Amino acid sequence: MTTRFAFSIAATDGAARTGTITMPRGEIRTPAFMPVGTAATVKAMRPAEVRATGADIILGNTYHLMLRPTAERMARLGGLHKFMGWDRPILTDSGGYQVMSLSALTKQSEEGVAFKSHLDGSRHMLTPERSMEIQRLLGSDIVMAFDECPPNGVDEKRAEASMERSMRWAARSRAGFDAGAEHAARSALFGIQQGSLDEKLRARSAAALTDIGFDGYAIGGLAVGEGQAAMFGVLDYAPAQLPADRPRYLMGVGKPDDLVGAVARGVDMFDCVLPTRSGRNGQAFTWDGPLNIRNAKFAEDQAPLDIQCGCPVCTTWSRAYLHHLVRSGEMLGAMLMTQHNLHFYQDLMQGMRDAIGAGTFSAFQSDFDARYTR
């Protein structure tokens, strides 16, 4: 029988670690970056192309999929994997963050969050139990507990109350996940640490989650406007508060230098819309820092986006051609820029995995930071 969920650490270098998550639909090499497939698609990319970048797992969005095409319809059509043509692991978020950030009207209570759809104004109720049900109907491989993500800058009292509610919801998520016996037998559930920027609150959150017991643990409540220095300040202690034998997932992060700094502090998994969104808007990520292909200086530049990159975009087309496509509004421009960015992110993750395995991560980080931020 294929392992439901296992995490093994192959090597460490300081706090940085590299390993493998094993699940029925395949292995996930860590540190791992998950491209975001919000509405059952990684925008501007076909599944085979996403896989060819080196991605082992993608992220799907519970909030968007529950509204359109609906989780029930997805289940009738055979689940998210079949629907979108992706046969490897999928992690689905709980929907909580989008409810808070996208809905025009929400009402929070101990039961959950009542909200209006941003699409048509229809009313919905999202609870820990309903979130688990939706993710089960989607056929998610890694299910995220339902939590409350407070905005940046809340006071300590609000942060504490929000964290405590998230821990109560975590226990309900655990019970709701376990109730889906067949799905639970082949999937995994991750808890989410909260506590804003407060070390003591995060320690209490970590202890509560560990007591409940999860397959992996996410660090939530960051990448909400606090800035990189504050985020790294939390990551200086937060990963070590979580069980060392389970994956640690930093939600919604981030820029390439964010990823390197977070891996140095013990994080194993990431997701972010940045490489795809930036690609669609003409920004390429390179080893020498981000590049805006709309810039007039690239109109006759025959070099590839990144001379060090071996992706199909960089080995075929010039900056001049990509500049032309993007400035002309051609959809191929968004597709090729996105493809390059996802390749770059996966190359970065592979570079970190190799460096950790070789015991040279500190040198890798120094070289990367010096070149990328130059």
| Cα 219 to Cα 73: distance, rounded to the nearest angstrom | 31
**254 prior amide bond cis, ω within 30:** yes
Cβ-Cβ contacts under 8 Å for 100 (sequence gap 6 or more):
106, 113, 148, 149, 151
Q: Which two tokens stand for residue 146?
A: 């339902």
Task: State the catalytic residues.
Answer: 93, 271
Look at strands 123-126 and 113-116 and give their pairing.
antiparallel
Q: Which two tokens stand for residue 273?
A: 């819309």
Q: Kindly report the backbone phi and psi dihedral angles of residue 190, in degrees, each rounded to the nearest multiple of 5, phi listed first.
A: -110, 135
Residue with tokens 């820092």: 289
Residue with tokens 């999860």: 214
Q: Which two tokens stand for residue 369?
A: 């930071």
Across 311-338, b (16+ Cβ under 10 Å) vs e yields: bebbeebbbebbbbbbbeeeeebbbbbb
Cβ-Cβ contacts under 8 Å for 18 (sequence gap 6 or more):
9, 10, 11, 12, 29, 30, 31, 352, 353, 356, 357
Closest CA to 127 of 154, 153, 107: 107
Q: Which two tokens stand for residue 89?
A: 């692991």
Do the Cβ atoms of 152 and 225 come closer than 8 Å?
yes
Residue with tokens 């919000």: 38
Do the Cβ atoms of 222 and 253 come closer than 8 Å?
yes
Name the DSSP class of 297: G
| Cα 260 to Cα 359: distance, rounded to the nearest angstrom | 15
